Amino acid sequence: MPLVGCTQKVPEPQKSCYFVQNKHEQRVSWKSNLPVKFRVHKDVPKEARESITQAAKEWNLISTKNVIQIVSWDAEGTPSKSYADRVPTIFWKKDWEVNKASEQARTIVVWSGNTLRDADIWINAKNFTFSYYGDEFGYMKVDLVSLVVHEMGHALGFAHTTSRESIMYPRLARGFDRRSVDHLKDLEAFSCEYGDSIVEPSVMLAAIEEHAETVVAAEVSVETPNEELNNPSSEEPTQEGLVESVNNASQSSQVVQ
140 torsion bin: left (phi>0), alpha (psi -120 to 50), beta (else): left
Smallest Cα–Cα separation from 160: which of 151, 146, 148, 170? 170
* SS3 assignment, position 38: strand
pLDDT recorded at residue 173: 79
Stronger pLDDT, 214 or 87, i.e. the higher one: 87
The pLDDT assigned to 217 comes to 28
Residue type, position 227, single letter:
E
Q: What is the mean pLDDT of the chain?
A: 76
Q: Which of 99-103, 167-171, 183-187 has the lowest mean pLDDT?
A: 183-187
d(CA 52, CA 238): 20
Homologous superfamily in CATH for domain 36-223: Collagenase (Catalytic Domain) (3.40.390.10)
Q: How far apart are CA 168 and CA 166, in angstroms?
A: 5
Q: Name the nearest CA neighbour of 65 among 184, 190, 163.
A: 190
Q: Is the dihedral of CA 47, 53, 59, 62 positive or negative?
A: negative
Q: What is the pLDDT of residue 178?
A: 79
Bridge partners of residue 254, in order along the sequence = 109, 245
The model's pTM is 0.77
The pLDDT of residue 172 is 83
Using DSSP's 3-state secondary structure scheme, residue 226 falls into coil
What strand order describes the sheet that includes 89-93? Answer: 68-75, 36-41, 89-93, 115-124, 105-112, 252-255, 244-247
SS3 141: coil
Where exactly are the structural domains of the chain?
A: 36-223
Q: Please check the confidence at residue 223 and state whether its pLDDT lies above 60.
A: no
Give the model confidence (pLDDT) of 105-142 as tens digits: 999 999 999 999 999 999 999 999 999 987 776 678 89
Q: Which of 53, 28, 48, 11 is nearest to 155 (CA)?
A: 28
pLDDT value at position 216?
33
CA angle, residues 205, 209, 211, in degrees to nearest 5: 115
Model pLDDT, residue 232: 27
Mean pLDDT of 96-107: 92
pLDDT surpasses 60 at 29: yes
Tell me what the mean pLDDT of segment 236-253 comes to: 32
